[in-house]
Structure 1
Amino acid sequence: MMTFEELGIDERLVKATSALGFVNPTQIQEKAIPVLLSGTKDFIGLAQTGTGKTAAFGIPLLQVINAAEKHPQALVVCPTRELCMQIVNEIELFKKFMTGVQVVAVYGGTSISTQIRDLRRGVQIVVATPGRLIDLIERKAIQLDKIEYVVLDEADEMLNMGFQDDIEFILQNTPNRNSTWLFSATMPPEIRRVSKRYMKEPVEVTVGKVNTGNKNIDHQYYIAAAPNRYETLKRIIDFNPGIYGIIFTRTKMDAQEIAERLTREGYDIDALHGDLTQVQRDKVMKAFREKTLQLLIATDVAARGIDVQGITHVINYELPDDVEVYTHRSGRTGRAGNTGICISIIHNREGFKLRQIENIVQAKFNRLDIPSGKDVCRKQFFSFMEKLLQADISHGDYETYVPMLEEKFADVSKEDVLKRVAAMEFDRFLKYYENAEDLNIREERRAARGDRREPGGREQGGRDQGNRRRDTAGREFGGNGNGNYMRLFVNLGTKDGFYKASFLQFILDMSDLKKEVLGRIDMKEMNSWVEIDKNAAGKMIKSIDGKTFKGRRIRMNDANSR
């Protein structure tokens, strides 16, 4: 295998990688670093999150900049504050044996005046989120005319978050750059267009297959009836005693509601969503990284840029509407050679969507039965026994207390002692799960209900169902003219950086409505149409109509009144 020294990097950087315990570069590092060290070639690197992309561009940047010049020479643009801080931390480690090189992070949610002071002290590498960077440009607090290298990290995520105009503005304001380096997990058409417009004959490197999932991840799913989804989630958590994971929901309301319910029931969990202040967000993330929290529940937008090591499980409380989002969610686990588990709770009509995701990640999904109450108690009991047997008794003066213990328990049998220990640990589980019902959807139950659908969502015995479609919750409703739904027009579309999943979350977050009220969403380039329960339409219009998005006034109204 190739070593970092063989890649041609400075001996000080080799020394730093060795100090960090890195001997052999990852695939993306091996392919990218020799190209980027020239400093004159545009580059596109396609690789999944967690493959070592920061080192792939961070090490070459440290080598090609001039430490003697105290002005910004390299600009790294990334989607979130967390990723911004992570990149700076990693570059700081790589420059451990280099002097005179300064790296500064600029992002929203903290004092801009402090960041301006840091920039004025003289820096060579600036790592920034798009919004704060543009704010600094407009204040003339940062000069980009001497920027020689621009790195766009997690480019697909930035486009999904609506930063396309910002990215183009930044590229237009760095006219003297020698090269542009773009890193992304996927290559949607929008990124391809940006690369053609602003890059010249880029060297393109793909590590693995674009959009494919990590082979270290075991993909599992449970089929649950809609009213049993929360109870199914609890059983999954209880069935995995050592779980350290992230639960994904579609909306911030779901994230907050589930977190509050689980907290009341004694679980170490907190929510991460768009309503949190930066201070609250930092507090939650600190607790999660330190494992004070066992579980984090988050929306896709709130979780972007999070990079936490050692996550054992990712749980999709619901499948995402956009199948590519699944890859980003599942990629939070199974990193750095470790194995991970990605679990999805689905209803029995999502078979087609599941097959789509299987094709994208090119992995087989394993269906599991929802654990019974007895299964959960048995799993917890075995886990407890293992902890009891492995308890470290070498660092305490336990011998002092043994005579007292022997005297106290002289008339109690060993079996009774073990039962009492078990009762103290398992009383809550045993009482809760004593008469727990079977949550699995059995074929005989579906037949008894007269359910005429197969798990993949196809009708049995008859094709024409009166032109009925399904809403986002899986319920049936008719075509135009159904009495329970109305159609809303909104002047936002794919040109605004939305895809269906992000648009769904955007309108639900704005209105604080649940996804069950929505029907079909039809997105075009400039406009979209949303079918919604009539009882909820007024609230959605009131919440969204007249608000602004990226400086443009949003219009939403009854489509039939236009």
Structure 2
Amino acid sequence: MSTFSELGLKEPIKKALVDLGYETPTVIQEKAIPQIINSDQDLKAFAQTGTGKTAAFSLPIIEQVDPSIKSTQAIILSPTRELAVQIGKNIEEFSKYIPDLKVATVYGGANIEQQIKQLKKGVQIVIGTPGRTVDLIKRRVLNLSQVQWLVLDEADEMLNMGFKDELDKVLEATPESKQTLLFSATFPKEVEAIAKNYMSDPVEITSGQKNQGSDNVSHEYYLVTERTRYAALKRVADVNPNIYAIVFCRTRRETQEVADFLIRDGYSADALHGDLSQGQRDSVMEKFRKKNIQMLVATDVAARGLDVDNLTHVINHKLPDQIENYNHRSGRTGRAGNKGISIALVTKKERGRLHPIERIIKKKFVHTPVPSGKEICEKQLFHLIDKVKNISVNEEEIAEFTPAINEMLAGLSREELIQKFVSLEFNTFLSYYQNAPDLNDLSSKENSRGRSSSEDMTRFFINLGRKDRLNPAKLIGLINDQGIGDKIEIGAIDILDTFSFFELDKNFEEQALLKFQENEPDFNGRNVNIEITKTDRGGGRDRNRRRGKSGGGFNGKRRSRDAKPNSKREFGRRREDTSPKKAHSGFGRRRRKS
């Protein structure tokens, strides 16, 4: 393998690379950098996520850009704000010893007037998202007539996000003489079409086989039901005490709900999706990079641009709609020479979708049983012992308290002391997984989808729905806030537009009606009405017939609109395989309920 000195880079760039700890180029860098420097031929490059592709296209551009010319000489397009910002940051680091070289990153969600002001001062390299780039071109602020290099980074994702029209407009604004550099982790037909339509006889280079997954990532799948999917996710977290993972979901709504469940169950987690403001997204990403968050629940698009090298796991809560995106997801782990694990939670019906993914990544998924409660407790116990063994003791600070501590513990033997200190943290875990069901038994009644358990459940109507901003997590909190019973089981939940249905253990039927009537709860200022329904699931839009007044329904009185529902929801009374449970310790940086 060559060194950066042998790739034709000038001294200021090499000095910056030394400061950043770059020693030897990756395969894609070794191939792309000399090609871009020594040729003006278009380039089509396959580069897996985490292989150093940003340096592969930016270093040769920095090498050749003329800082004395104020016009824009390179335009780099990126599908997301996060990735654009990351590329801009990298280029600024690579060029820090070239003071006259100016870099601007432009994207939606930020103050466009500030971006315009920066561009008018003269910028040689512009990194932008397609939408904001086109906007600045239309305003005649961004002039690309002198561009020598056009980079399409993550070209496959830009097409997936519907940016074809924007790409066309940017390409139209650039001269034909430019060098087009197309980088992509996968090469579906649409990307090949871009190469065919907008590139002239491109050179093709790859880092590994095209579309193949990273050799540092192993692929596992857990068989689950819809009812046990979330429980399996929690067990993956609990059996890996030092987990540092991205949990991928398909939709923004699913992402937020899973994150809410994890947070309320005491896990160190947060959500990242397109409904968050730029400030919120930046805050979440910063906390994740600093490991103040161990599990980031994200959509495919939102996770682009996350520059994190030490992820232990990628967890597919659900497989992506487009199988090519699986490669993007799994590529977030196993970076910088580290090993990583990509896990897919799939039902029996979804298992067939693994085969085309295996053909793309050229690897087999290994079927792994969902960890048992005993297995998790054992792993957490020894993790706790290891933490105790390696903890640093400030002998000077604790010395004054030692005599009093020794006196208080004088009657306990060494074995008793060990047991008590371990149990202090571990008892909650043991209690949580005591008599935990085997989630691998997909035929069991309690692990099935939940509809078959209706004989033991009472189905209720509630006059709240999606238009009231009700979701399963908020409904569970509303039910638990009524104090119906310490061990009440909540079954199937159906959230509709203006009303919803939920199931409760039949033994708590009367208590539920009574408590809701006594408490007269409101939800966002609206009085709550629940009634018992029949559980016939025959045809029709609403297949449930509500009982009349004799069925036990009630109408609560409307409270003041200033009244707000309790934001601290207790989620500790629902079966582990159907919903979030009570927070337990043993999983680093968990939130504690006051």
Q: Secondary structure at the match of 1:266?
A: coil
* Distance in 2 separating the partners of 1:17 and 1:275: 37
Q: Which residue of 2 aligns with 1:239?
A: 239
Structure 1 residue 396, shift from structure 2 partner: 5.2
Q: Which residue of 2 aligns with 1:362?
A: 362
* Distance in 1 separating the partners of 2:304 and 2:164: 16
Q: Which residue of 1 aligns with 2:402?
A: 402
* Distance in 2 separating the partners of 1:51 and 1:5: 19
Q: Secondary structure at the match of 2:302?
A: helix
Q: Which residue of 1 aligns with 2:153?
A: 153
Q: Deviation digits for residues 479-532 of structure 1, max 9, x if unmatched?
A: xxxxxxxxxxxxxxxxxxxxxxxxxxxxxxxx99xxxxxxxxxxxxxxxxxxxx
2:440 alignment partner AA = N
Assess, with a 3 A threshold, how the Cα gap between structure 1 residues 402 and 105 changes in structure 2: closer, same or farther. Answer: same
Assess, with a 3 A threshold, how the Cα gap between structure 1 residues 238 and 11 changes in structure 2: closer, same or farther. Answer: same
* Distance in 1 separating the partners of 2:257 and 2:4: 48
Q: Secondary structure at the match of 1:92?
A: helix
Q: Secondary structure at the match of 2:38?
A: coil
Q: Secondary structure at the match of 2:40?
A: coil
* Distance in 1 separating the partners of 2:72 and 2:292: 39
Q: Is the 8 A contact 1:216 1:339 kept in 2?
A: yes
Q: Is the 8 A contact 1:149 1:177 kept in 2?
A: no
The correspondence of residues 72-83 of structure 1 with structure 2, limited to 5 A, is 72-83=72-83
TM-score (norm. length: structure 1):
0.78
Q: Please, which runs of 5 or more residues in structure 2 have no aligned partner?
A: 452-496, 499-538, 543-594
Q: Is the 8 A contact 2:80 2:301 kept in 1?
A: no
Q: Secondary structure at the match of 1:270?
A: strand
Q: Secondary structure at the match of 1:187?
A: coil
* Distance in 2 separating the partners of 1:212 and 1:351: 20
Q: Is the 8 A contact 2:219 2:342 kept in 1?
A: yes
Assess, with a 3 A threshold, how the Cα gap between structure 1 residues 209 and 395 changes in structure 2: closer, same or farther. Answer: farther
Q: Is the 8 A contact 1:146 1:176 kept in 2?
A: no
* Distance in 1 separating the partners of 2:308 and 2:178: 34
Q: Deviation digits for residues 246-287 of structure 1, max 9, x if unmatched?
A: 111122222111211221111111111222111211111111
Q: Which residue of 2 aligns with 1:58?
A: 58
Q: Which residue of 1 aligns with 2:139?
A: 139
RMSD (CA atoms): 2.4
1:306 alignment partner AA = L
Q: Which residue of 1 aligns with 2:377?
A: 377
Q: Is the 8 A contact 1:147 1:176 kept in 2?
A: no
**Are 1:90 and 2:85 counterparts?**
no
**Are 1:388 and 2:391 counterparts?**
no
Report the number of matched residues.
457
Larger Rg: 2
* Distance in 2 separating the partners of 1:322 and 1:152: 20
Assess, with a 3 A threshold, how the Cα gap between structure 1 residues 392 and 233 changes in structure 2: closer, same or farther. Answer: same
The correspondence of residues 104-115 of structure 1 with structure 2, limited to 5 A, is 104-115=104-115
Q: Secondary structure at the match of 1:227?
A: coil
Structure 1 residue 96, shift from structure 2 partner: 2.0
Q: Is the 8 A contact 2:136 2:142 kept in 1?
A: yes
* Distance in 2 separating the partners of 1:302 and 1:64: 32
Q: Is the 8 A contact 1:39 1:178 kept in 2?
A: no
Q: Deviation digits for residues 122-147 of structure 1, max 9, x if unmatched?
A: 11100010000011011111111111
Mean CA deviation greater in 407-416 or 81-90? 407-416
Q: Which residue of 2 aligns with 1:318?
A: 318
Q: Which residue of 1 aligns with 2:570?
A: none
* Distance in 2 separating the partners of 1:81 and 1:238: 33
Q: Secondary structure at the match of 1:392?
A: coil
Q: Which residue of 2 aligns with 1:194?
A: 194
Q: Which residue of 1 aligns with 2:291?
A: 291
Q: Please, which runs of 5 or more residues in structure 1 have no aligned partner?
A: 452-472, 476-510, 513-532, 537-562
2:319 alignment partner AA = L
Q: Is the 8 A contact 2:273 2:298 kept in 1?
A: yes
Q: Is the 8 A contact 2:80 2:302 kept in 1?
A: no
Structure 1 residue 422, shift from structure 2 partner: 1.8
**Are 1:20 and 2:23 counterparts?**
no
Mean CA deviation greater in 141-150 or 296-305? 296-305
The correspondence of residues 129-528 of structure 1 with structure 2, limited to 5 A, is 129-393=129-393, 397-441=397-441, 445=443
**Identical-residue share of aligned pairs (%):** 47
Q: Deviation digits for residues 97-141 of structure 1, max 9, x if unmatched?
A: 222101110001110000011111111100010000011011111
Structure 1 residue 304, shift from structure 2 partner: 2.6
* Distance in 2 separating the partners of 1:363 and 1:396: 55
Q: Secondary structure at the match of 1:421?
A: helix
Structure 1 residue 428, shift from structure 2 partner: 2.0
